[in-house]
Amino acid sequence: MSTSTSIEPEVDHGNSKKTEVVNKFREFQSDLDGKHDKHERLVKISRDVTIESKRIIFLLHRYREGMSDTEKNKILEEGNQKMKLIQENKFHLMAIELKNEDPNQFMRAVSPGLQEYLEALSFYHYLEKGLLISLNEVQNQFVFNSSEKLESATFKVPAEEYLLGIADLSGELMRLAINNITAGKFDLSFKVCEFLQVLLSSFSLFGNTIKELNRKMTTLQQSLRKVENACYTLRVRGCEIPTHILADVIAGSGKISEQIE
């Protein structure tokens, strides 16, 4: 949006009060516009990051318990490639935009994409190692060396953003568990269940330090409840027959007669 349209005829009129006021405001205008333009550019980058990150998450959801290592690595590799592209093409730019700025001033623009990316990154990390990625490990990804076109820059990931991204991870893990159950894969959901339980109780140490976190905690709790309920169902159902037979059942042999009950 161009904002330079309002060139005023009043300037010429001489030194009346009105001209004085208008001149002051003309100055304000350029200040405001500069800020807004940077904000808009960051919003655009952030939006792109969001879309790409969502795609990565979507991709990672293809994982199923019991896949061959080759299959699993293929998925992880694909995710990794995409994350690298985001780093190079988006976050590097973002870091340059924020050089010499108070990054907090633009956090509202940056935040949505950043959090979504952290969600994707931690999801990837969980699938790869079954662990929670640490803030340090995250931070390592945000140091950019100079390249042909771009100068070097560093973007410091705020702890709050890291926590908010991790809070969103719970939703994806819940979905992962449910999808695997739906596909007849049960063990993963028990692991996810415990992971989320530990995560929730770790989060519970923070009080109302971060406003946004409160809302997300409710979501985390709900996600955990869903996984707990799913695990419960599996356990209750699973208990109807001895586990070694259950394994057969799940393996698809399906040769159990009614008398077992």
Q: Is residue 31 involved in binding other proteins (CB under 8 A)?
A: yes
Among 44, 74, 215, 225, binds other proteins (CB under 8 A): 225
Q: Is residue 233 involved in binding other proteins (CB under 8 A)?
A: yes
Q: Is residue 102 involved in binding other proteins (CB under 8 A)?
A: yes
Task: Give backbone dihedrals phi and psi of 153, rounded to 5 degrees, phi first.
Answer: -165, 160
Q: Is residue 28 involved in binding other proteins (CB under 8 A)?
A: yes
How many helices and strands in the chain, by DSSP H and E? 9, 2
Please state, in angstroms and as integers, the Cα–Cα distance from residue 89 to each residue in 45, 80, 94, 110, 137, following that order: 9, 14, 9, 15, 20
Among 70, 140, 201, 218, binds other proteins (CB under 8 A): 201
CA atoms within 13 A on the CB side of 7: 4
> In whole angstroms, what is the distance from residue 65 CA to residue 176 CA?
10
The region of 31-39, 81-89, 111-119, 147-155 touching other proteins under the rule CB under 8 A is 31-39
Picked from Mn ion, other proteins, none, the partner binding residue 24 (CB below 5 to 8 A depending on kind) is: other proteins
Picked from other proteins, Mn ion, none, the partner binding residue 255 (CB below 5 to 8 A depending on kind) is: other proteins
Binding site residues for Mg(2+), as ranges?
A: 119, 172
> Which distant-in-sequence residues (6+ apart) come within 8 Å of 106 by Cβ?
38, 39, 42, 97, 98
**Residues between 59 and 98 with contacts to other proteins, criterion CB under 8 A:** none
Question: Minimum distance from CB of 116 to Mn ion (Å)?
Answer: 7
- In the stretch 161-200, what mask flags binding to Mn ion with x, by CB under 5 A? -------x--x-----------------------------
Picked from Mn ion, other proteins, none, the partner binding residue 257 (CB below 5 to 8 A depending on kind) is: other proteins
Element (H, E) at 193: helix 187-203
Question: Minimum distance from CB of 228 to other proteins (Å)?
Answer: 6
> In whole angstroms, what is the distance from residue 202 CA to residue 170 CA?
13
Evaluate the CA torsion angle 224, 228, 231, 233 in order and state its sign.
negative
Nearer to other proteins (CB atom), residue 70 or residue 260: 260
Helix, coil or strand: residue 153 = strand
Q: Is residue 241 involved in binding other proteins (CB under 8 A)?
A: yes
Q: Is residue 194 involved in binding other proteins (CB under 8 A)?
A: yes
Q: Is residue 200 involved in binding other proteins (CB under 8 A)?
A: yes
The region of 66-74, 110-118, 147-155, 200-208 touching other proteins under the rule CB under 8 A is 200-208
> In whole angstroms, what is the distance from residue 120 CA to residue 166 CA?
9
> Which distant-in-sequence residues (6+ apart) come within 8 Å of 162 by Cβ?
118, 135, 138
Enumerate binding residues for Mn ion (CB under 5 A): 168, 171
